[in-house]
Amino acid sequence: MANTAARPTEAPGHPGIQDPAEHRDPGQVIGPPSWGQLPPAGTAPRGVRLGAAHLCLRLWVWFLTDGQEPLCPSHQELVISSLAPSWRVLLGRLSCQLLDMALKERLRTWKRVFCWLILLAFGLLGLLQYGLPLVRHLEALIPMGVCPSARMALLRDNFTGLLNPWARPDVLTCTSWGAPIIWDGTFDPAVAQQEALQQNLTIGLTVFAVGRYLEKYLARFLETAERHFMVGQRVVYYVFTERPAAVPRVALARGRRLRVERVARERRWQDVSMQRMRTLHEALGGRLGREAHFVLCMDVDQHFRGAFGPEVLAESVAQLHAWHYHWPRRLLPYERDARSAAALAPGEGDFYYHAAVFGGSVAALRGLTAQCARGQRQDRERGLEARWHDESHLNKFFWLHKPAKVLSPEFCWSPEIGRRAEIRRPRLLWAPKEYALLRD
């Protein structure tokens, strides 16, 4: 006869672990199991291990987002599945090792585990901040935020009319002060092109090519600009250099002109960067200001890859930095020396803007360059130099005077970062940085 003796009931989903409900006394209050009741190291159920992985991930994202972005369970699964297989394995192994360590050593409190998880979060953060390539893609998991529906319906652009922020639900398409963040798919380039032609605009593009930067980058910058920058519009290029005779000859389309302005050669490359605002302010008050309606100012060590049209124009335009657009505000590299005119206090700042691209109307740029040049002069008088030179002062200006339009990283992208799902159509690409060769 078959043995029909009753067997202990197993806990659902965990073979081998008895259900405590089978043996408890009526009315007994069941609390969390003690460490002695948990299975030995290396035998934790799969659900517990997955929970540890989720806890590790949630703590890391919570730390990076100032505790403002808790992950719901569905978001956890999405983030876990979006990780590359190697990172899923690594995250799982680290989480399981922490859990197994707790089980093996019979820790008396959860504080020890919590400390290990915090250390892990700091370790990942340190690797991220110091630029290890394999860790850089983890920052893509940091949420950018969502534009409120009430504000999205009101987003307009002075060249493209009503924008379509719903076309990009994967990214932030507006700022807290109501300015649009321009991503591919949120505007109609044909409408922007027609609007600029109807206004009969002339658009200025300024670039500084000093020292070895002239031979290394200027020719490609101008050649690609002719193929992609404001095609069909009237354009005037302004090249600032200490060697006007060395500026390469580039075939220009009808309605496009090249002006070369001589500047003094500075002793240090930092001084070239710092003097740019003063030089631009003077040019905007002269011929450049009389010729152009809108002006864009760019670095020379980059080249155009896609259409860069009138959709970027506005009264004042700022560019999100490709390396920092996912970072929480407290990690952004603002100037923190309170003695500097460029300093931002903790809690100040909106985004981190890149000085490789900025622009606006002539009047707005005159105000921007005047304030930045004044702040640099005050720093020099105090024997100070901002951490990122004119870029630090630019970020201070845009904190005090919000830009009317913000360009997404698609408009100035670094190939060193690698592929990102949200970067659909890069318009301007950084050239390889060869500082040791170019800066003396």
Binned at pLDDT 50, 70 and 90, residue 235 comes out as very high
Cα(364)–Cα(403) distance, integer angstroms: 10
How large is the average pLDDT for residues 11-30? Answer: 45
Query: Which pLDDT score is estimated for 220?
Result: 96
pLDDT at 20 over 60: no
Which of 154-163, 206-215, 328-337 bottoms out in mean pLDDT, i.e. has the lowest?
A: 154-163
Binned at pLDDT 50, 70 and 90, residue 279 comes out as very high
Query: Which pLDDT score is estimated for 163?
Result: 83
How large is the average pLDDT for residues 344-350? Answer: 93
pLDDT at 45 over 90: no
pLDDT at 422 over 50: yes
Q: Which pLDDT tens digit goes with each residue over 62-90?
A: 444 544 444 455 545 544 555 445 555 56
pLDDT at 18 over 60: no
Binned at pLDDT 50, 70 and 90, residue 146 comes out as confident
Share of the chain above pLDDT 90, in %: 48
231 or 274, which is more confident: 231
Chain centre to alpha carbon of residue 99: 34
Cα(420)–Cα(274) distance, integer angstroms: 32
How large is the average pLDDT for residues 110-124? Answer: 69
Which of 47-51, 112-116, 193-197, 262-266 bottoms out in mean pLDDT, i.e. has the lowest?
A: 47-51
> Among the residues of 106-250, which ranges form H helices?
111-129, 133-136, 149-152, 189-198, 213, 219-228
What secondary structure letter does DSSP report for 320?
E
pLDDT at 43 over 90: no
pLDDT at 52 over 90: no
pLDDT at 243 over 70: yes
Tell me what the pLDDT averaged over the chain comes to. Answer: 78
Contacts 24+ apart (CB under 8 A), 105-113: 106/35, 106/36, 107/35, 108/35
Lookup result for tokens 């020396």 = 337
281 SS3 class:
helix
Query: Which pLDDT score is estimated for 23?
Result: 46
Cβ atoms of residues 310 and 293 within 8 Å: no
How large is the average pLDDT for residues 399-413? Answer: 96
How large is the average pLDDT for residues 181-194? Answer: 91
225 or 419, which is more confident: 225
How large is the average pLDDT for residues 212-229? Answer: 95
Query: Which pLDDT score is estimated for 22?
Result: 45
How large is the average pLDDT for residues 96-124? Answer: 64
pLDDT at 190 over 80: yes
Lookup result for tokens 């983890």 = 138
Verdict on whether the full-model pTM lies above 0.75:
no
pLDDT at 405 over 90: yes
Cα(440)–Cα(435) distance, integer angstroms: 9
Torsion angle of C-alpha atoms 344, 348, 350, 356, degrees rounded to 10:
0
Round to the nearest angstrom and report the end-to-end CA distance of the chain.
Answer: 94
Residue 138, H or E segment: none
